[in-house]
Structure formats: structure tokens, C-alpha cells
């Protein structure tokens, strides 16, 4: 192994400067959806707004008091938010037509979203109570669900790209 390294060192006698360039077409862009060829890809309002518009159009989705003194650390907030989203998707299986929006205000966690009206009102109220109670016990703070209902998942489509 040492002989191979010595051989390589002897071949490199002068330092070389290398420049790396890439074509503009190879650029990656995060947070945006690629348009489809036929223009029939449906987007919701949340999906249609790009990352540069978050502060202007989606600021109400990012109300967060977790970074105040005495609050949770950012890593704990991310893990809790991930747990909440997974729990909501599992409990409300195939009923959510939008993203699960989590709003943290002081000691209260508010969870918002749009749900299909495909189950009876009795089951809906049971799921709301069950979700609020279980998350309140696990997260040790009050949890409030704010749900809107729609007849069909197509009612949530904002535009097609």
C-alpha cells in the first residue's frame, strides 16, 4: 500500500488547479413541482405556492412559539410534528385531502386540515375526540383539531400544471 502511495506522490510534481463547471440544465430546484407534459397534474393551494412565497402567502401556517425561551428545542419540535402527522394519517386513513397543518401557539397545538365527507358524523366526532385525547396525553399539552370537510377530493384542487 505504501509503495502505491509513494508512486502516486512521485508522479504529482506540481500542484494543479482544477475548475469544476456544470451546465445550467443540471440545476436542481427544491420545493417546486415539475409541470407535466399534458398539464393535468393537480395541485392544492399549499402545493402551488413555492418556497419563496412562504413568508407572504403561507405565514399563517408557520405560527410557532416553540423557539421562545423555555420552549422545546427545534429537534424535539420536528420529531413531535413528524409523530403528529404520522398519527393523523394513520388514524384518519385516506380521509385527508390536504396537508396536515400544525400550529403551535403557547401551550396549545392546533392541527388543521381538509377531510373528505365519506364517513358518518358519528364516526367523525369519535375520531376528533379520540385524536385530541390521545395526542393530549402523549404530548402533555392541549391539542385542538380544526377540520374542514369537502364532498370530493377534487374540490381541493387549486390549479393544474
CATH number of the domain residue 95 falls in: 3.30.70.1350
Number of domains in the chain: 1
pTM, two decimal places: 0.66
Q: Which residues contact 114 (CB under 8 A, 6 or more apart)?
A: 96, 97, 98, 147, 148, 149, 150, 156
Q: Write the pLDDT tens digit of every residue in 35-66.
A: 888 888 888 777 777 777 766 776 665 556 55
Q: Write the pLDDT tens digit of every residue in 65-113.
A: 555 666 667 778 888 888 999 999 999 888 888 888 888 887 889 999 8
| Domain-located, residue 24 | no
pLDDT of residue 125: 92
Residue numbers of the domain that contains 127: 33-160
| Domain-located, residue 12 | no
Rg of the chain on CA atoms, in Å: 24
Cell of 137: 396525553
103: three-class secondary structure by DSSP: strand
Sequence-separated contacts (24+) of 63-72 with Cβ below 8 Å: 63/103, 63/104, 63/105, 64/103, 64/104, 65/104, 65/105, 65/106, 66/104
Give the distance from CA 53 to its chain's centroid.
15
Region 128-152: what's the mean pLDDT? 92
| Domain-located, residue 145 | yes
| Domain-located, residue 80 | yes
| Domain-located, residue 147 | yes
Amino acid at each position: 500500500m505504501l509503495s502505491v502511495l509513494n508512486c502516486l506522490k512521485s508522479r504529482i510534481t506540481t500542484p494543479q488547479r482544477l475548475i469544476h463547471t456544470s451546465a445550467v440544465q443540471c440545476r436542481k430546484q427544491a420545493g417546486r413541482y415539475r409541470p407535466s407534459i399534458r398539464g393535468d397534474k393537480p395541485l392544492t393551494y399549499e402545493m402551488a405556492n413555492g418556497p419563496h412565497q412562504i413568508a407572504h402567502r403561507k405565514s399563517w401556517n408557520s405560527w410557532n412559539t416553540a423557539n421562545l425561551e423555555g420552549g422545546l428545542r427545534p429537534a424535539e419540535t420536528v420529531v413531535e410534528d413528524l409523530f403528529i402527522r404520522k398519527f393523523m394519517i394513520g388514524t384518519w386513513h385516506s380521509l385527508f385531502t390536504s396537508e396536515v397543518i400544525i400550529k403551535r401557539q403557547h401551550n396549545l397545538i392546533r392541527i388543521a386540515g381538509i377531510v373528505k365527507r365519506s364517513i358518518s358524523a358519528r364516526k367523525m366526532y369519535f375520531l376528533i375526540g379520540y385524536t385530541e385525547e390521545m395526542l393530549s396525553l402523549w404530548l402533555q399539552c392541549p391539542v385542538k383539531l380544526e377540520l374542514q370537510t369537502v364532498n370530493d377530493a377534487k374540490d381541493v384542487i387549486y390549479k393544474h400544471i
